Structure 1
Amino acid sequence: MSITLEKMTREVVLVKEAKGLGNQTAEVWAVIDISASIRSYFENGTMQAIIDRAMAVGMGFDANKQIDVVSFGVNSHYEGTVTERNYSGFANDIYRKRNLEGGTQYAEAIKTIRDKTIMAKQGGIAGFFGVKKETKTLDKPVYVLFFTDGDNQDKDETTKLIKELSKYGIFFQFIGVGNASFNYLQKLDDMSGRVLDNVDFFPAKDVVSMDNKVLFEKMINEFAKWVPQARAKGIIN
């Protein structure tokens, strides 16, 4: 493990303990924007800085010391598992492999995570595709760090998905990168009609220069409140 990743992981662990999550594990996912407007963030190192910090969260929460990564623009792409052995340069690997896409749509990325976590574990979710199956409690929550530089074009579908997923053990931490207004994510954070509030949002104009302790506190704060509520409802163990 690099000195930087080790230091950031220690900061994550300290924040976990301060928030009452000392022994809590989670399946950590990072979702990163590959819409055309994000180009400069790949080229100036911001996207790798995002992967580094998401990796530190994974080291602090995931028993396997890893994260899974999804990229999205118009479409969604599962980029695989990231560990301390391959995280360095992972953003550049994505940038070389993927053509940046001319749109920003959140729903497909959310579906990818849903399908690879909740549906994979439960064999189906009641209400999706007509599959009727009793809800199972997840052994550990799914904790999604969702990075984007702008509002999406599929607001209705995203809202519907977030509401449907509020009864399952998955929490979405949206993080706005850059100077956009993120009006929709502000509304998504506060919307009614959910079993549990399964979303938080905060802007992080410059992840590279942001104090890591402050960033990790913002990442973990609402998740720490959600965990006991989800456990009380039997959504997670």
Structure 2
Amino acid sequence: MAAISLDTVRETAPALVNLYKSAGVSLAQHGLDGQRAAVYLVVDHSGSMRPYYRDGSVQALADRVLGLSAHLDDDGRVPVVFFSTGIDAVTDIALAGHRGRIERIAAGLGHMGRTAYHLAMDAVIDHYLDSGATDPALVVFQTDGGPADKPAAERYLCKASRLPLFWQFIGFGDPDSRQFDFLRRLDELPVPGRRVVDNAGFFPAGEDPSKVSDAELYDRLVGEFPAWLAAARAAGVLPVTAAARTAPR
């Protein structure tokens, strides 16, 4: 059962109904129906991201993440971290009032700097720990390029593997760009050599992310989450629930 009902979504965010339904199909296909998780959205606010703010790609991603979150978390809100050289904002988006929310936030942020993954990761970790959450977290981390400080980003990801956080990176831009080589490397960092568990995934959404269908996007966003949940329980990062102990293998 979804955390938030279809009727509630119809009442509070009717424009997200189709996204909510599509997300539900993907979750069920991956055995995640009824799973609870905190959902975070991290968005790149560096200078090269201007076209994706202008054409609505970032807002569209935020709406899709809200549609997904409504199945996993019952508060109807998604914490959002905007990052560039530093942390530009830590705020949230909600089912109610979601239309144009990203554009309104971005309009007040000012200068678009460089790209510092590790600061954004630190902000998510702090928020999660401070929230007192007991459910795991799915962090949707959007960017259009590699970080300015690659060693720092790698260290943060490795240290974060001890926490109940799964990082799903999504790249906006040319899928063949060398800008995404680092993210591919993060995705393949050895376990247990560098990480307790494999706590990250990456996929490119292309130069026009709006062309990625809702079904495909949700499939990519949650596709690696079940394997991480199982590995995190086995490694003691997550508690083993009764449901997990009795689930068919």
Instruction: Report the TM-score when normalising by structure 1.
Output: 0.88
Asked if residue 153 in structure 1 is aligned to residue 148 in structure 2, the reply is: yes
1:144-223 to 2 correspondences below 5 Å: 144-179=139-174, 180-181=177-178, 182-192=180-190, 193-205=194-206, 206-223=208-225
Alignment CA distance shift 1:60-1:100 (3 Å): farther
In structure 1, the residue matched to 2:7 is none
Give secondary structure in 2 for the equivalent of 1:117. helix
1:38-187 to 2 correspondences below 5 Å: 38-118=49-129, 121=132, 139-179=134-174, 180-181=177-178, 182-187=180-185
**2:46 partner letter:** S
1:119 Cα deviation from its structure 2 partner: 5.4
1:232 Cα deviation from its structure 2 partner: 2.7
In structure 1, the residue matched to 2:235 is 233
Equivalent residue pairs, number: 221
Calculate the aligned-residue CA RMSD, in Å. 1.5
1-structure distance, mates of 2:35, 2:162: 20
Output one character per residue of 1:190-224: Cα deviation in whole Å (capped at 9) or x when no partner: 01110000000000012212111011000000112
Larger deviation, residues 226-235 vs 29-38: 226-235
Among the aligned pairs, what percent are the same residue? 29
1-structure distance, mates of 2:14, 2:159: 41
Instruction: Report the TM-score when normalising by structure 2.
Output: 0.84
1-structure distance, mates of 2:228, 2:181: 23
Can you give the 5+ residue segments of structure 2 that lack an aligned partner in the other structure?
Answer: 1-11, 240-249
1:77 Cα deviation from its structure 2 partner: 3.4
Q: Could you tell me whether the CA contact under 8 Å between 1:26 and 1:62 is conserved in 2? A: yes
1-structure distance, mates of 2:131, 2:78: 17
Asked if residue 32 in structure 1 is aligned to residue 22 in structure 2, the reply is: no
1:139 Cα deviation from its structure 2 partner: 2.4
2-structure distance, mates of 1:108, 1:218: 25
